[in-house]
Amino acid sequence: MTEPIPLRRRLAANAVALTPSFAALLVLHGVGDLAIGPMLAAMAAIAVVTAFLVHRYLASLARFARFVGELSGEREPEMPRLGFAPATEDLATAASQLSAGWRRQHASIDNLAASAQAIVDGLPDPLLAVDRQRRLVRTNRAAGELLGAAAAERDLSTVLRQPPLLAAVDGLLETTDGNFAGPEQAAVELTLSGPPERDVVAQLRRLPRPAADGSLVLIVLHDTTALRRAERMRADFVANASHELKTPIAGLAGFIETLRGPARDDVAARERFLGIMAEQAERMRRLVDDLLMLSRIEQHEHARPDTSVDLERVLKGVLDLLQLRAGARGVTLRLDVEPGLPPVPGDHDELTVVFQNLIDNAVKYTRPDTAVHVALQVAADGRVAVAVADEGDGIAAQHLPRLTERFYRVDAARSRQMGGTGLGLAIVKHVVNRHRGRLDIHSIPGKGSTFTVTLPAVP
Ligand SMILES: Nc1ncnc2c1ncn2[C@@H]1O[C@H](COP(=O)(O)OP(=O)(O)OP(=O)(O)O)[C@@H](O)[C@H]1O
Ligand SMILES: [Mg+2]
């Protein structure tokens, strides 16, 4: 594209180029060596050729200027043809190399900044950076999710209204005589209002000097909700276990007292009391056995069992064992096995405990003279499912999510009276978890419940 060249520049350039030759022609004419006619003809010819050359030269210069101007733009411009100003061609090449180098540096700075942000975003804990004025200058993705799109440049207090945290940040930013006077780091425990409410430990650290974006204090929020819940659960568990043991112990102590005192010579009472004492001792033994079992399974819950189990054999064994108890309530036990089942990776003893618990519950909670139906089949996705269905009173929906908690019972008195510890389904859940399976509970009040354990067939 030809560049429009301002007339003044064109005239000035022509004047500069023509002056020496016109001067020479005038001198020649002055001394009489050149007649006026040829002089004017020579001047006209020189003026035409010069105007043409000056025009091409100025156009090349204009193209060069435009090229240099475009070098700082987004895209690298195309090198122009600068034939009439050869010196500018070298200059253009040098400028283009300079700009390419600058572009490369720019790209690598952009890359560095992007990867720094990617690393910060990759951190699982929310991270916030504030400047010397306590304004938010940087957040990572987790912080964005926790606090919503936190607007930069705003005071931290508008995003996290937590006086202890703000006080700690102020403490870190405090200066006397231009030097930081406060500590370099601090930690504050916070509760973030929900929902869901969260317990958080905020770790604060002041950088030795402000970063390029002004970041001076880094704040990492570490969610301790699960930890707190686990602590609470452990405390509850100890309290529950002690409570469960306290009742039979108190009973035993009472009967011992009676046997030593008033009932010392009453043979009939002694027999009866000894019977009850044996029952209480048995209950304590069961409780301790279940607790030990639970703790053992929990310890290796992360390790999948590596042996293969024949589920049909497991179920037949369990049904044989429970036949007597079922018969006593007039309950019929039925087992349906789909032919051609694949073997399941699992622990024979642990799976026996699982189905013993589920079928025992079914026998306990089904109505007398009904049937408990155990079905072993392959699910659509190739997993193996065992369903234990009873015809009991069922379980109200609000209890279902809590049923596998330790010591959770729908009717505690009834469960205890039936010799239950309330740990059965907790054990079931842990064993099923260890087998990477799942437990589904389906219950219709008044009709019955079905507990289904689904296990992966291939490891
Ligand atoms: N088939 C069922 N029908 C109705 N309720 C059930 C059934 N299975 C379990 N439950 C309810 O779930 C509660 C917890 O069951 P879990 O097996 O953990 O304890 P348990 O049977 O009381 O004691 P344990 O299994 O230690 O003998 C029971 O107390 C009962 O209220
Ligand atoms: Mg049970």
State whether 262 and 390 are in the same domain.
Answer: no
Whether residue 234 lies inside any domain: the answer is no
Contact 356 CB / ligand 1 (< 6 Å): no
The predicted-structure confidence for 250-278, as pLDDT tens digits, reads as follows 999 999 999 998 888 889 989 999 999 99
State whether 363 and 411 are in the same domain.
Answer: yes
Query: Chain-wide mean pLDDT for the chain?
Result: 89
State whether 313 and 450 are in the same domain.
Answer: yes
State whether 292 and 321 are in the same domain.
Answer: no
The arithmetic mean of pLDDT across residues 291-309, rounded, is: 90
Contact 345 CB / ligand 1 (< 6 Å): no
The predicted-structure confidence for 168-203, as pLDDT tens digits, reads as follows 999 999 888 888 888 899 999 999 887 778 899 999
| The last residue of a domain, from among 100, 134, 167 | 100
Assess whether pLDDT exceeds 60 at residue 2.
no
Contact 248 CB / ligand 1 (< 6 Å): no
Question: What domain range is 268 assigned to?
Answer: 245-299
Contact 346 CB / ligand 1 (< 6 Å): no
State whether 312 and 451 are in the same domain.
Answer: yes
The arithmetic mean of pLDDT across residues 277-306, rounded, is: 91
State whether 213 and 266 are in the same domain.
Answer: no
Ligand 1 centre from 355 Cα, in Å? 13
Pick from 425, 428, 429, 432 the residue to mutate for probing ligand 1's pocket: most ligand atoms within 8 Å of its CB: 425
Ligand 1 centre from 151 Cα, in Å? 52
Ligand 2 centre from 415 Cα, in Å? 8
Domain count, the chain: 4
The predicted-structure confidence for 65-109, as pLDDT tens digits, reads as follows 888 888 877 777 887 877 777 777 888 888 888 888 888 888 888
State whether 263 and 289 are in the same domain.
Answer: yes
Ligand 2 centre from 310 Cα, in Å? 23
The whole-model pTM stands at 0.62
pLDDT-based confidence at residue 3 (cuts at 50, 70, 90): low
- Residue 451 gets the label, from left (phi > 0), alpha (psi -120 to 50) or beta, of beta
Ligand 2 centre from 364 Cα, in Å? 8
The arithmetic mean of pLDDT across residues 327-344, rounded, is: 93
| Closest C-alpha to ligand 1, atom 3 | 365
